[in-house]
Structure 1
């Protein structure tokens, strides 16, 4: 099959930004770069993986979940997999990744495309060869399925413009958005959890980086706006994290209809109970404990954390909140997109 040319430009960031992110995020010791007109922010990586992801083979039997990080991705993956697999709760008693889902971008970090990943693998080889091999294996399995034959379940944090051009015309895609205030807080904890990032700055410093679009996968708003514009496509279901918090059963119905599945009343009740957030965060198969075992995650943070809407109020100062309100308003101009940053009632 002929490979499509990559349509986006790669640019190094300026020296001042590089110095700043290297100081705050040791995982960016190689520096950073931006991709495309919206200047998506990434570690300094080879260009080839981006070409490969853009040319990733798609099949109409595949199901994708696409999100910005920390917007309900894992919660949605579990819901989608169980609906697509007729509520096979026994089959779900294995790791979400890599056993059931592939993570499109993951191997390009784990397999040593930057010095941080290479250093982790090298140190692991010296200290514990078996652990290092497991780390390598996990990276490979999350990006490339055990069987190349569809159907596959694929997760990505890439914007649509950097994913295969025929993705939406070929596959069912669920896109999840979350209000940026809570997404920021969750992403801050995620940067402290992931050892290949190992964020060492304060919350205020992370807040500034987020609003300046200088955290990995940023900018937030163009990513969401791009998906929002495509929400009328028959193969795209656009949902909000806050919808799942307020009306989980209603979202399950929408996803079931989208995937062409019919749940019985008993299946619906069992799935709602399974996905209730207090139960979900205790589920060992979605909390990626094996990643802690191989040294990828900090012992001090949890992968599935609070899942609360409005938790940002425990972190933002009044000045931060005012700044972010302006930031959101400016970036939503010209759209009918809006976010719920507080909920009266949530599960």
Structure 2
């Protein structure tokens, strides 16, 4: 077994002021939250306990990783990648949940200090059956899901195939808000405008979002990285299917690809989802609307202006641009 590598990044407690704010919203955590690395990714106290374990995970060349910022199309890309890589085995896909097919690497680190589990009272079953503690026991090929940025993952990550999907941060903000309600991280009386202030200040799990995306964007030309956009998947899913097939070295007929696109339609994915829902039109469900540009229904005029300035500020030194959802 290879010797463990030292972490090349720092892990520091957030400021007392930040921790006070965080504990107002994220209940059940007694230890300080942490900022990780030079970009200051905000993570739970439990992450610090296991950062080295995650960083030193063995990477196998036939591993498949889906890496995303939360609420960016993770589930959609997981289903697409797994089916392409497994000879379009719809029977298994329909009978074995993604929570079993993919290991959610850092999931245990999100547990609260009090309940020792993440808040998921409205969610049937755990979000994963495997994580960093037992993936070494899984047979190849292994499938991984993570919301950690590239810099916090194993240094040999790109020896494996890595797929990343990015989404307009305004749509992420809306979907992330409802996820916080669904998993009971936030109380029901927390309004979106109040949450938006936390988003802008990077006072939410895994924030800041732009460095997270940019880390993957800078690696997009690597032969073992496939970078795509949620908006691209929505506008031209067939085109993305073609890209994933090429990336994973799989060949299918035009008819087979058309059938896959049909399977991956939002309505079909939503219908087959085992997630607990409060109603077909409810915002409080894991797979919500599957629409790009839906953020406009939640941002008032002032928030819209703030979002434009926020995006412009973070994109000014990069060539990263999100596709226009309206075109």
Normalised TM-score (structure 2): 0.90
Please point out which of 301, 312, 315 is paired with 2:284: 301
Which ranges of structure 2 fall in alignment gaps of 5 or more residues?
none
Higher relative contact order (CA 8 A, sep 6+): 1
Match of 1:311 in 2: 294
Are residues 1:252 and 2:241 paired? yes
Q: Give the conservation status (yes or no) of the 8 Å contact 1:97–1:103.
A: no
Aligned counterpart, 1:22: 23
Q: Aligned partners of 1:159 and 1:47: how far apart in 2?
A: 15
* 1:129 equivalent in structure 2: none
Structure 1 range deviating more: 15-24 or 255-264 = 15-24
Q: CA deviation at 1:146?
A: 9.1
The answer (yes or no) to whether the contact 1:178–1:339 under 8 Å persists in 2 is: yes
Judge conservation of contact 1:64–1:155 (CA < 8 Å) in 2: yes
Matched with 1:324 is 307
Alignment CA distance shift 1:61-1:92 (3 Å): same
Runs of 4+ in structure 1 displaced over 4 angstroms? 118-121, 196-200
Q: How far is the alpha carbon of 1:54 from its aligned partner?
A: 0.4
Tell me which residue corresponds to 1:127: none
1:117 is matched with which residue? 116
Q: Which residue of structure 2 lines up, in the alignment, with residue 84 of structure 1?
A: 85
CA apart distance, 1:87: 0.7
Structure 1 residues 34 and 109: CA distance shift in structure 2, 3 A: same
Is 1:217 equivalent to 2:210 in the alignment? no
- Which among 152, 160, 164 is matched to residue 162 of structure 1? 152
Q: 5 Å matches for 1:143-182?
A: 143=132, 144-145=134-135, 147-168=137-158, 170-182=159-171
2:40 is the counterpart of 1:57? no
Report the secondary structure of 1:56's partner residue.
Answer: coil
Q: Offset at 1:29?
A: 4.8
List aligned pairs for 1:133-282, cutoff 5 A. Answer: 141-143=130-132, 144-145=134-135, 147-168=137-158, 170-196=159-185, 200-282=189-271
- 1:338 pairs with one of 318, 321, 324: 321
Distance apart, 1:66 and its partner CA: 0.4
**1:97 corresponding residue in structure 2:** 98
Call closer, same or farther: CA 1:74–1:150 in 2, change over 3 Å. Answer: same
What SS does the aligned partner of 1:216 have?
A: coil
235 and 78 in structure 1: CA distance in 2 versus 1, 3 angstrom threshold: same
Structure-1 separation of matches of 2:67 and 2:173:
18
Distance 1:335 1:21 in 2: 30
Residues 1:300 and 1:179: Cα distance change in structure 2 (over 3 Å) = closer
Alignment coverage as a number of residue pairs: 320
Is it true that 1:4 corresponds to 2:5 in the alignment? yes
Residues of 2 paired with 1:216 and 1:145: CA distance? 24
User: Where does structure 1 lack aligned partners over 5 or more consecutive residues?
Assistant: 125-131, 293-298
Aligned residues: CA RMSD: 2.5
**Residue aligned with 2:78, SS:** helix
Is the alpha carbon distance of 1:323 and 1:27 closer, same or farther for their aligned partners in structure 2, counting shifts above 3 Å? Answer: farther
- How far residue 180 of structure 1 moved from its aligned partner, in angstroms, is 0.3
Name the CA distance, whole Å, in 2 between partners of 1:200 and 1:33: 26
Distance 1:73 1:21, change over 3 A: same
> CA–CA distance in 1 between the matches of 2:79 and 2:307?
31
Aligned 8 A contact 1:64 1:173 in 2: yes
Report deviation, 1:264: 1.4
Q: CA deviation at 1:91?
A: 1.1
SS in 1 for 2:76: helix
1:26, 1:167 → 2: CA distance? 33
